[in-house]
Amino acid sequence: MINEDTIKEALKAVKYPGYSRDIISFGLVKDIAVGNGAVTVVMQLTTANADAAQQIRTDSEAILRTLPGINHVFVEVRQPTPQQAAAASPWKNQTKMPGIKRIVAVASGKGGVGKSTTSVNLACALAHLGASVGLLDCDIYGPSIPLMMGVKGRPNIDANEKLVPPVSHGVKLMSIGFLLDDDQPVIWRGPMIQKTIQQFVSSVAWGDLDYLLVDLPPGTGDAQLSLCQIVPLDGGVIVTTPQEASLGIVRKGIAMFEKVNVPILGIVENMSYYITPTGQRVEIFGHGGGKAEAERQKTAFLGEVPLFTEIREGGDKGVPVVAGDPKQPAAQAFIKVAEMLRAKLG
């Protein structure tokens, strides 16, 4: 028998336009009435986008008409005015970044999976592919981008009193590490971190960029959520290692992005396997977990990066492996991921 629960279950097949989540999980359905072969559904959107409303209405009606015994379907989609939507939006305080086409966060649910290493090599790989690229280090407590990109010293100030991002290996950079003395710890609470990131977004002369990569701190706490709301992201990339201990945290990272309506662009499996000097392949942390998790999460698998000594050496020397020798296998692994990411972003 068709009832309210049946209707909700059916509407889980309707995805919010541009996202992998359904309209039920977003909490858009506010009222359901069923009786005498007719069903009425009332939804409340937070966006004033008429195209999104029309698609949701059309998709919902099509799904409901497939239910047995339902002869009449009425779906009402309520929307706020543009002014109301702007006032209610959790992203109303986001700082727009003119001249930047795509902003992508690189995240991990936990530390130690090579997130920053992936960030610097992806940035260099996109630059190698001909794009103009920036890299924003939002790992306030543990900034490693300056070391990995081989940059020291404080950035200059331009005529408009904005920070001029230093350029290394063809990538524009900004990090709290440029503004601190060596080994000086950052002992800040959340509001200070938010203020700093806000300044990095609005007070840095990024210029025109095809991509700005944002290296987020590890974890899924309040700081990460706030960063996602400050920076208008086009999507997020999750970095993991193959073992289950990391994959369990991946799910939390994906949930974090979903909570702030940031689409997941895909998963990268780092430290995927190791080739010994004799040519033997050793799967130290297991293998294939990242791809399997991407399939479970119905998101893209952007690629795997094996354990290469050259990757570690490049980061320690300030010359990421992609910048040092883009033809070697270690660099090619990151370039393939960058090509997948570029295709995903259109």
pLDDT in tens, 163-209: 899 999 999 999 888 877 666 555 555 566 667 777 777 788 999 99
pLDDT at 223 over 90: no
* 84 and 16 assigned to the same domain: yes
Give pLDDT, residue 266. 92
Percent of the chain whose predicted confidence (pLDDT) is above 90: 42
pLDDT at 341 over 70: yes
The first and second tokens of residue 319, run together, are 């010359």
* 54 and 150 assigned to the same domain: no
Between 52 and 130, the higher pLDDT residue: 130
Give pLDDT, residue 11. 94
- The CATH number that applies at residue 58 is 3.30.300.130
Percent of the chain whose predicted confidence (pLDDT) is above 70: 88
Residue of 252, 242, 247, 236 lying closest to 138 (CA atoms): 236
Question: According to DSSP H, which parts of the chain are helical?
Answer: 4-11, 50-64, 82-88, 115-128, 145-149, 190-202, 222-230, 244-259, 289-297, 309-317, 321-324, 329-345
Residue of 296, 248, 287 lying closest to 269 (CA atoms): 287
Q: Residue 225's domain spans which residues?
A: 100-345
Residues 123, 210: Cα–Cα separation, whole Å: 11
Question: Is 95 part of a structural domain of the chain?
Answer: no
Between 214 and 177, the higher pLDDT residue: 214
* 206 and 319 assigned to the same domain: yes
| Domain final position from 88, 111, 136 | 88
pLDDT in tens, 123-178: 999 999 999 999 998 877 778 899 999 998 888 889 988 889 999 999 999 988 88
Question: Is 93 part of a structural domain of the chain?
Answer: no
pLDDT at 312 over 60: yes
Number of domains making up the chain:
2
Give pLDDT, residue 339. 96
On average, the pLDDT of the chain sits at 84
pLDDT at 92 over 70: no
* 34 and 182 assigned to the same domain: no
Give pLDDT, residue 79. 87
* 190 and 222 assigned to the same domain: yes
| Domain final position from 88, 109, 129 | 88
Task: Please list, in sequence order, all residues whose beta carbon lies within 8 angstroms of the beta carbon of residue 128, skipping any fewer than 6 positions away.
Answer: 170, 322, 323, 326, 335, 338
- The CATH number that applies at residue 173 is 3.40.50.300
Span of 83-87, 211-215, 243-247, 301-305 with lowest mean pLDDT: 83-87
Question: Is 94 part of a structural domain of the chain?
Answer: no
The first and second tokens of residue 221, run together, are 């706490």
Range with top average pLDDT, 98-112, 232-246, 284-298, 327-341: 327-341
* 165 and 47 assigned to the same domain: no
Give pLDDT, residue 55. 93
